[in-house]
Structure formats: C-alpha cells, structure tokens
Structure 1
Amino acid sequence: MTSRLDSLTDRDADWAGLSVVVAGLAVSGFAAADALVQRGARVVVVDGRDGEAERERREILQIMGAQVHLGPEATTRLPDLAEQPDLVVTSPGWRPDQPMLAAAQAAGIAVWGEVELAWRLRPAEGGAPWLTLTGTNGKTTTVRMLARMLEAAGLRAAAVGNVGTPILHAVLSPEPFDVLAVELSSFQLHWLDHSPLSVAPLASAVLNVEPDHLDWHGSMDAYARAKGEVYERTQLACVYNVQNPVTEKLVRDADVAEGCRAIGFTRGIPSVGMLGVVDDVLADRAFIDERRTSAAELATLEDVRGDAPVLAPHQVSNALAAAALARAAGVPPVAVRDGLRGFRPDPHRIAHVATHGQVTYVDDSKATNPPAAAASLSAFDHVVWVAGGLLKGADVDDLVRAHAGRLRAVVLIGRDRDEIAQAIARHAPDVPVVDVASTDTGVMDDVVRLASELAQPGDTVLLAPAAASMDMFRDYAQRGEEFAAAVHRYTRDHEGK
C-alpha cells in the first residue's frame, strides 16, 4: 500500500477508493473526513465521545457517505471492515499507545496526522508555502505576529494549525493564500509521515524546548525529537533560539534542503547570520547583503511592547522569531515593523486587568507550565504570585529557585499546589504562602482578596499558574476570566479605599 500513498502528493491525485479510518470527530477530524469523502475516499470515522456536537457532525458525514461510530467501544480497536484500511488519519491529541492507533501501527498501516493530510492536499502547482513554527511556549503569539507581518507586506496570509484554524481549511480555501503561518504542536509533529514526501516548509522555527507533555511523549528526548521534526526538509531557513541551545542542536540534526541556512535569534547583539537587539532596536544581520558589516533596523522595543503593561523578555524573543520567518519569506523591514505595531496579544497572555491602590493585576493564565511562568515572572520586580493547578509531572524547583527574589507572597490553588508549596519552603522559606484548598471555580474572589491583602504599593498580583487548569476550570481561558472578573469585583468594592 505504500506505493499508493506515495502517489498521493496533491489534491488532484487519485484519492478515489482509498480506505481511510479517521480517528476523532472534533474540528480537525471533521475537516479531514469531509476533505477525503469529497475526493472519493471510503471513510470511517470513530470517536470515543457521543455528545451533541459529535452526533451533529455524524449526521452531516453520513449524508455525505461516510460511516461514523461513536462511544467508548468505537475506539478500542480498528473498525470491522471487509479489508484492512489503507490509512489512518488521527487527530493530534491521540497518543501513540492508544489501542486503535497501536493496532494500526502493528499491522503496518500508515498513520498520518491532519497536518500530513493537509500537505498532501495542496495543489500540484502554486500552493502557498508554509512557514512552520513550534516550541514549548509562545507559539500562538509568534504565529499571530508572523501573520500580521505577512499581511502588512500585502500578502494574503493566515495563522493556522494548532492556533485553532485547521490547516485543511486554508489549504482547500476557494480563495488561495499567498503564504501560511503554521503553528505546530509536538503532537502534530509526531504524526507527520517522516518521509521525503512529507511537509517541506519554506522556513521553520523552534522557539524553545522545555519539559512539557512528557506523559504523552514518554521522555524529554522523545519530546525534543518531535519538536525537531519541524526543521526536516526545510527549504530556505531554519530559525533557532540562541538562548535555548537545544534548538540549535535540532537544526544540526535535521535533514534539510541543500543551501538551507541556520538563522539564530537572540535578545543580545546579533552576530552575522542572526537577528537580535541593538540598543532598543530589533536588528537583522541575516537577510541583508551587507550582513558582515551592518544590520537592517526592523522595529523598536516599543513597537513590540504595544499596549502591554511591561515588555516581557520572552515577547522580544517571539517578535524576533516571527521577524526571522517573515524575512525568510521576503517581507521587507517596514512590514515587520507595521505588523508588530498592529499586533495585539490573545487574551490571558500577560494581560493588564486593573491597577488599584498602586497594585497592578495581571492575567497570564496561559502560563500553563513552569517555563511559561518563569517568563512571566521575569517581567516584574515584586510579585504576589497566584499559582497552581495540574503540573503534569513538571518540576517547579528551578522556577522557584530562579525567581524567589521577586516573590512578595504566594497564593496557591489547584490539585498540585502542595508541590509548589514544598518548592517554596526549600528555596524561598521566608515568603508567605496562602493555601486555598477549595476547588470551586468561584474561589477566585478569595484568591484576589488574599493576594491584595499581601500586596504592597508597586507590586503586581500575577496569575501565572505554571500548571494546567482542568482540575478546576474548563480551560486556561475560563481560569483567566474568573480571575479578571474577581479583580474587577474587588476593585469596585474597594473603590476609594
């Protein structure tokens, strides 16, 4: 069957009659099933859930001619078919040891993610080039910055992938794009085909690699290897983080097109072949002819800060990475600047909530792991830190040790709060810690009140949990919303005090 799959290199290839099992009926799974059915493939979709959304999608796909099986039993093994399927297309969150996927791999059946499928459904000629990026933290911010830079250059562009918009929607859009800014998670990268026919981006970047999702990947080495897949087959430029040496190693290990360059970004002064910062200017010494003797000015640090309460160091790194990818795609310096000026971060990313009584309240609920929380804490001098949730096996010792001097006090919430409390006892024993045991979502009123009582004028009450949210909240967004609402209630009730 490999020869058949090897012939599927574009949307006009012969997909008719291909037998495909689609694992998962969320947004990306539905998009994959829809695209395959429209090209004549025989599609069976399975999902362990059986809710209203899944049933609505099942009805649509069944009308189109697909089979759909819902409920826990549907995902325990491969569907009963007259013959072995040619291909399994999996949603990114499905783990490699999931029984049905493990059975497919044991049987020698190819397993693709929706990213691989999207690449294979590009037009035979004239398809939009991909600028791909990954990293433990900062992916969505960076890909949105990149999209704004591309648009500022007059290109029809979109931020797609892990950012929320399925790549398939953009690839199959009736209005073609000039270029796609593609955010990829380690899960999505794991499910690439890893063959010469797989994704070959124009330029690619790894922002950083820190411990995360180790329960899914099994080890730090496996997680890093998955991140490194973003560099494979890159055509023009592999962008790495000078301050995160593992990213450079991943470039060195990658099999790329002849002539592809390694481009570093740094918050320091850039060497030749890098982007960096000179005084308060983002400077390019990689994509100009005179790079050995001079640099091109791209933007200022104020352009990066925008409306944010502070300029967080990691935001400068994000801007430099986005600029490197944009410059690889031919974007002129003025469009990099205009893109940054027009960019606004998504909610819950170092978002200013309020200032009251000379205390600033900041929502960085998106800081769902220790490295993200470290980046957030580093932006402020004195912090009452609101932290806790699901650590997913992450170690917080380095985080607390590095930022103990910033901590005025700590308010802990969530299931794994005791692990953070123990780290504080080891590395910051004089810092007051308040343990909030309630797991009710309404607990944020107590959290904000306690944090406010501990704060001094000039301090920041910072929600940067270093942990996932699902033990108490629907997601990090709800956690941030509850925090912000509690802050507004507190400041309203204490107005004038």
Structure 2
Amino acid sequence: MTEKNTAGPAEGGVPAGSSGTAVPAGGHVCVAGVGVSGPPVVRALLARGLRVTVVNSTDDERARAAAEGLRAAGAEVVLGSDELPEGVRLVVTSPGWRPDAPLLAAAARAGVEVIGDVELAWRLKPADQVWLAVTGTNGKTTTVRMLEAMLRADGRDALAVGNVGTPIVDAVLPDASGAVPEVLAVELSSFQLHWSESLRPHAAAVLNVAPDHLDWHGGFDAYAEAKGKVYAPGTIRVANTADEVSVRLAAAGDTAAPLVGFGLGTPRPGELGVVEDLLVDRAFVADQRSTAEELASLSDVRPAAPHQVANALAAAALARAAGAAPGAVRAGLAAFGPEPHRIAPVAEVGGVLYVDDSKATNTHAAAASLSAYDPVVWIAGGLLKGAEVDDLVRAAAPRLRAAVLLGRDRDRLRKALDEHAPDVAVVEVASTGAEAMTEVVAAAARLAEPGDTVLLAPSAASMDMFPDYNVRGERFAEAVLALPR
C-alpha cells in the first residue's frame, strides 16, 4: 500500500457513528420477499407503527407457511404477485431480488425508494453503535466470526451479524432487557451493498474479489463496484495487499480516511502482516516506521492455511481499528472455532487426510483450499455458474495426485484437466442419487496414497445434487467415516 496511512487506535475507543435517513414515520411500506431477511424486517417496521404489505412472487408451500406467521404478526401478505401495492412510500427488498424484478422496476418508475435490510438496519440503529464491515468473494463468515471473538476478548459487547445467524435488523433494536450490542461485525454480500446507500461503517475490509454472481450484477465491473461501496466516506479502509481489486477499490474510497493493508508478507508501515511465525501490526502503533506490535502466532490460526491467515489479519485490522488491545487478537483466535464445511478436517484413514471444504463454491475459494495441501486427490464438480476453470486447474496441477469429478458441469473440469494436467488420473461419477457421494469418496480412497489429502473443494454450487453446500459436506463426512479402517 503506497498511500499515506494515518490510522491508529482512537483514545477511548471509536467515535459515535450516525445513522442514515430515517424510515418514514407512519405510512405504507412494502417488503419484497418472504425469505430469511423478510420476517425480521417486517417485525421492525410493524414495531414502528407502519402499515406493511409483503409481496412474494411465488405461492408455494414454503411461502404459505412464512405468510401465516407474518399475517399473525400484523402484516398484509400477497403471494404469487409482482405488483407494487398502492400508496407505498418505501420498498425493502430481499437482497437476492434483482433490480429488474417487476415489483422493483415498478417502484423505480413510480419514484419509490428501494432499500435492503442492511440499509434499513443502518437507518434504525442507535447513533453510538459501531459497525465493522466485511465483504469479499470468499472468507466473509470466517472473518466476522474471528472479529467477533477478538472484540469479545477485548471486553466488548460484540455480535457477528448478516449471513451468520443473527439477522442484522434484530441486532439494532433493543432486546427484552432494552440492550443493543455495542459493536457489530457485519458480513455484507454484494447484493446487500447494492441496496445500501447511506451505510457508513467505522471500518471495512474487502477481503478479495473474484468472478461470482456475474449474472445478477451484469458483469465483473458492476460486481466489484458493489463490493467497493463498503468503503464509504469516513470509513477506515482495510485492503488485502495481495488482491489487486481490493487495493484498487480501497484507493478509490475516501482518501481522507485511513488506509490499512494486510497480507502474508512482511508488513510495511501502515500494514499488518507476517514476520517469521508471528502476526504483527505496523498500522495501529505509535510509530509505524520503527515499531511493530506482536498480535499472535501462526499456530494460533486454525487451520493455518494461507487464506485463513489472511482472514485472521483482516479481522485483526478491524478489531484494532475499533481500539482492541493487541492481546485480544490472540485470545480471540484461541476462542474461535472454524465454521463447518470450511477447510475442516474430517478424519485420517490409512494415512490419508480427508478435508471438507464444501463451502468452496467458486474457483477462487477452491484455489485457496488447494494451495494449502500437497499432494491432493481433488473432489470437484457441481454447478459452475458460468465460471472458467482453466486457470484454477493450471495452477493446481502440480499438487494433484488425482481428481474425482461429480455433478452437472463435471465435463468442463474434465476438459481442463485433460489439457492442463494430462498425467493426473481422473474418475468421473455419474450418479446423482443418495449413493453418489459414497461412490465419490470410495474412488478417492482408491486413488490416494499415505500422506495425501483427499480434498472436497468443489469449485461449484451444490444444487444440482444437494439442497445446499452444508448437506454436500455432511454427505462427504458420512462417507469418509464409513470407510473401512
């Protein structure tokens, strides 16, 4: 990072933030979608005395079950419709709804503002609640969980929110005792950032940016631009020095705000990095040029794969931006438990390690996972979502002992392996039923030798064969644990 860095821990913590434009008092609000974000939004709006109409384009069993609860809470619900209700003053959309969805397009034509759940939460939050935001293609959930643990180790009332369990709207409203968390570690998707305009986190990190959700955004540039919105005016910018897009987005942010880099190399002034086996800070210290603060050891990061270390450094940068003490970083990492299906060891059988990284649903995540092991029997395949795999296979080829392919788009992976790793043994499993993962793991076990790692890093979505990546990982673990010992 070449831009001058003036970041340092604020005396006594973080200055109070300010919320965005208020939600209109009274009147009629439309909530688009009955999915995960819908019910918390409806509850929050009803609590403010607003009339709420929920519109959902489908009318199936799941939607009807959700509608029953929303109606009981006091909302009007219209299923199987794309119409904008009359008299609506604001639309709060589910993050996944595209801007060209008929209801949202109608709102735009009518001059009705459309926001997402994150923007609503920002407008409703207490002025002194601190937000530390994390976005990126991969690693968001891990990083906000690490950040939450570091902040709690520092004695803060902190909570990880977003796609990690607690809906963000619930975290800005008083609980039964009237309390609201002091600090939020906020996981943000590109969809949520697209629908946020007044969001101003105290500090924010873009972990990495690789092609994903391009069909929704209309291309990579628009996808990256949505990620870059997290670097709002006044927000401390935390950027991955090894990721060109992260650095570019940070540089395009508010240049009056501090810029902090993190990376796996020796840190320069204004950065966090690694020296020998230590995680060190040269950003939030009194003299960046002549001093560094030890934060933790590589052994404190579990597992100490390169991308996991990068996530830990990003979390540490955000925690330090909020005034956390150096010791809180190590203590937080000690308390942190990795999320399921994220580079998680399952078992060692016959000298072969079996690792579940079912969450590696795109090429960027799979590349990070593959870089952590050598040699590898790679289990891959599923729905590639239009992603190109040649670069992934070319980079991984020297590490591969063999590959076992499954899922709808396995032929594209096979072609890339034939071209870039012609000496690597490849087995394709055509089954799509309940027995498919058992066949996959059995094939991988036959190909593996003692000292190898059998790695489930599909580089693809799971919905062609499994309900989601969690179920895919569970089936993998079950099949591994059923192997003869």
Q: Which residue of 1 aligns with 2:4?
A: none
Amino acid paired to 2:55? V
- The superposition leaves residues 93-147 of structure 1 with CA deviations (integer Å, 9 ceiling, x where unpaired) of 1111212112212322211000000001112x43x11000100000000000000
Aligned residue in 1 for 2:339: 346
1:40 matches 2:49: yes
Residues 245-270 of structure 1: CA deviation (Å, up to 9, x unaligned) = 211111121246x4x20100010000
Q: Quick one: which amino acid aligns to residue 78 of structure 1?
A: L
1:139-154 to 2 correspondences below 5 Å: 139-154=140-155
Does the residue aligned with 1:375 lie in a helix, a strand or coil? helix
- Give the residue type in structure 1 aligned to 2:217: H
CA contact (8 A) 2:20 2:199 kept: no
Tell me how large the CA RMSD over aligned residues is: 1.6
Please give the secondary structure, in 1, of the residue aligned with 2:353. strand
CA drift at 1:51: 4.4
1:55 alignment partner in structure 2: 64
Structure 1: stretches of 5+ with no match in the other structure: 1-8
Q: Aligned-pair distance for 1:177?
A: 1.0
Please identify which structure carries the higher helix content: 1
User: Of the candidates 382, 390, 411, which is equivalent to residue 404 of structure 2?
Assistant: 411
The offset of 1:57, in angstroms, is 3.7
Number of the residue aligned with 2:421? 428
Pair 1:182–1:234, CA change in 2 (3 A): farther
The CA deviation at 1:56 is 4.1
Q: Which residue of 1 aligns with 2:6?
A: none
1:323 is matched with which residue: 316, 320, 325? 316
CA contact (8 A) 2:134 2:188 kept: yes
Supply the distance in 1 between the matched residues of 2:343 and 2:158 (Cα, whole angstroms).
26
Instruction: Report if the CA contact (8 A) 1:203-1:238 is conserved.
Output: yes
> How many angstroms apart in 1 are the aligned matches of 2:143 and 2:258?
20
Quote the offset at 1:61 in angstroms.
Answer: 3.0
Q: Is the 8 A contact 2:429 2:440 kept in 1?
A: yes
CA shift, 1:52, in A, is: 4.8
Q: Determine the C-alpha separation between the residues in 1 that align with 2:325 and 2:202.
A: 17
Secondary structure of the structure 1 residue equivalent to 2:246: helix
Q: Could you say if the C-alpha distance between residues 12 and 421 of structure 1 is closer, same or farther in structure 2, counting changes exceeding 3 Å?
A: closer
Q: Is the 8 A contact 2:32 2:91 kept in 1?
A: yes
1:209-228 equivalence runs, <5 A: 209-228=209-228
Same amino acid, percent of matched pairs: 61
Q: What are the residue-to-residue correspondences of 1:256-405 with 2, within 5 Å? A: 258=256, 260-305=257-302, 308=303, 311-405=304-398
Aligned amino acid, residue 351 of structure 1: A
SS of equivalent residue, structure 1 residue 130: strand
- Does residue 159 of the first structure (1) align with residue 165 of the second (2)? no
Contact 1:389–1:414 under 8 Å retained in 2: yes
Compared with structure 1, are the counterparts of its residues 117 and 13 closer, same or farther at alpha carbon in structure 2 (3 Å cutoff)?
A: closer
Q: CA deviation at 1:13?
A: 5.7
Counterpart residue type for residue 102 of structure 1: A
Correspondent of 1:108 among 84, 90, 111: 111
Shift of the 216–12 alpha-carbon distance from structure 1 to 2, 3 Å rule, reads closer
User: Which residue in the other structure is 1:184 paired with?
Assistant: 188
Residues 348 and 14 of structure 1, relative CA distance in 2, 3 Å threshold: closer
Preserved contact between residue 205 and residue 318 of structure 2 (Cα < 8 Å): yes
Question: Could you say which residue in structure 1 is the equivalent of 2:9?
Answer: none
In the superposition, relative to structure 1, how do residues 255 and 293 fare at CA in structure 2: closer, same or farther (>3 Å)?
closer
AA of the residue aligned to 1:352: P
Give the conservation status (yes or no) of the 8 Å contact 1:19–1:41.
yes
- Cα-to-partner distance string for 1:264-300 (whole Å, 9 max, x where unaligned): 0010000000000001000000000021102000000
What letter is aligned with 2:223?
Y
After TM superposition, give the deviation of residue 86 of structure 1 in Å: 1.2
User: Using a 3 Å threshold, how does the CA distance of structure 1 residues 353 and 63 change in structure 2: closer, same or farther?
Assistant: closer
Q: Using the TM superposition, give the Cα deviation of residue 215 of structure 1 relative to its aligned residue in structure 2, in angstroms.
A: 1.0
* Match of residue 5 from structure 1: none
Q: 1:440 Cα deviation (Å)?
A: 1.3
| Distance (whole Å) between structure 2 residues aligned to residue 396 and residue 385 of structure 1 | 14
The one of 64, 84, 90 equivalent to 1:78 is 84
Tell me, yes or no, if the aligned pair for 1:101 and 1:111 is still in contact at 8 Å: yes
**2:237–2:253: 8 Å Cα contact kept in structure 1?**
no
Q: 1:111 is paired with a residue of what secondary structure?
A: strand
Between the aligned partners of 2:144 and 2:313, the Cα distance in structure 1 is 12
Consecutive aligned runs of 4 or more in structure 1 exceeding 3 Å deviation: 9-16, 49-57
- 1:341-369 deviations in whole A, cap 9, x for unaligned? 11111110111111111111111000000
Q: Distance in 2 between matches of 1:255 and 1:47?
A: 38
Could you tell me how far apart the structure 1 residues matched to 2:122 and 2:139 are? Answer: 24
Letter in 1 for 2:211: P
Q: TM-score, normalised by structure 1?
A: 0.91
C-alpha distance 11-105 of structure 1, shift in aligned 2 (>3 A): closer
Contact persistence 2:377–2:454 (CA under 8 A):
yes
The superposition leaves residues 184-217 of structure 1 with CA deviations (integer Å, 9 ceiling, x where unpaired) of 000100111x2xxx11111000000001111111
Q: Tell me by how many angstroms 1:19 deviates.
A: 1.8
Aligned to 1:135: 136
Q: For the residues of structure 2 that align with 1:411 and 1:13, how far apart are their CA atoms?
A: 53
The 3-state SS of whatever aligns with 1:344 is: coil
SS of the aligned residue for 1:149 comes to helix
Note the 1:459-474 alignment, pairs <5 A: 459-474=452-467
Structure 2: gaps spanning 5 or more residues: 1-17
